Amino acid sequence: MLGPSPEAILQRVRELPLLPTVVMRMLALDPESPDFFDRVVGLAREDPPFAVEIISAVNSLDAAPLMPVLRLGDAVTRMGANHVLEMVTEVTVRESFVPNEPTHRHLWSHALEVAGLARALAGWTVFKDADSEAAYLCGLLHDIGRFVMFDDSPDEFGLVDGTHLDSPESLIHAEREAWGFDHVELGLLAAKQMGLPEILSTVIRLHHIPLSLLRRVGDIEFTLAALVQVSDVLALAISDLPVDAHPPEIVPVLGAVAESRDWPEELVELEPLAMLIPGIRAEVERSMIDLGLATPG
């Protein structure tokens, strides 16, 4: 079923809608409140489409920063309350996403899990040059092409994503079979259209390139792409484990995936990482409840 081209999809999806819960929380923001900025940053950290808005806005200000702003906290402070409020007014009148299938909800939990893992791995071993907050944002937005696809054709998205999430490679393959292109290609065009900084486009473009190739280049965008790739593979590998799995159950799963990937030994320290994973997953679970995409208990 070859459908429209990525360009045609992006003609229809000029910008991403927000979740109804995110809109409600935005409307409840009080600029006079001392925690106004923290709340905005908290929302952007939980919702990739809102993070896109913030990062695009700050990096295209008249006084655009010399270095791209990749930390959501810095971005919100730099924009200032008035600009944030203008943006909130603009985005809250858009149509909302309606994620009513597990595959749709998985888009958010996957983005949050990859972001949390990337933040945890930043600073470790071969990722020692990566800033943890920049790593978080890259993880959050790495699959933005899949959000565009979901918004454009939720049913087709569910059919492909729902059955091919065992590894990133099988997802890419299934997407190409179904649509003639994959979420990397679509994500790259979306990043350009939505005004994301170049470094994020590069991370999106490279996040499924074999790690052995990425690691040969020392530039920071290659390090961030490698970090996102490792986090992506790990997130998919642990997704079959119960949310409350303990480190002794997690270590063998991480070990098996690291071995099957032929990753160098120094890349991921399995035991310390396994200790961090329950906390990361609990945070994702809390965010999913905040977003209205999971129910407590």
Binding region for Fe ion (CB under 5 A) = 143, 232
| Least CB distance to Fe ion at residue 114 (A) | 6
- Closer residue to Fe ion in complex, CB, 185/232: 232
- Closer residue to Fe ion in complex, CB, 45/106: 106
Helices 72-91 and 48-59: crossing angle in degrees, nearest 10, is 100
CA dist 126 and 139 (Å) reads 17
DSSP letters spanning 27-60: HT--TTSTTHHHHHHHHHHH-HHHHHHHHHHHHT
Nearest to 6 by CA among 167, 175, 202: 175
| Least CB distance to Fe ion at residue 62 (A) | 33
| Least CB distance to Fe ion at residue 28 (A) | 31
| Least CB distance to Fe ion at residue 54 (A) | 21
- Closer residue to Fe ion in complex, CB, 151/232: 232
CB 18 within 8 A of CB 94: yes
Task: List the Cα angle 161/221/78 in 5-degree steps.
Answer: 95
- Closer residue to Fe ion in complex, CB, 88/288: 288
- Closer residue to Fe ion in complex, CB, 41/234: 234
CA dist 235 and 143 (Å) reads 13
| Least CB distance to Fe ion at residue 32 (A) | 39
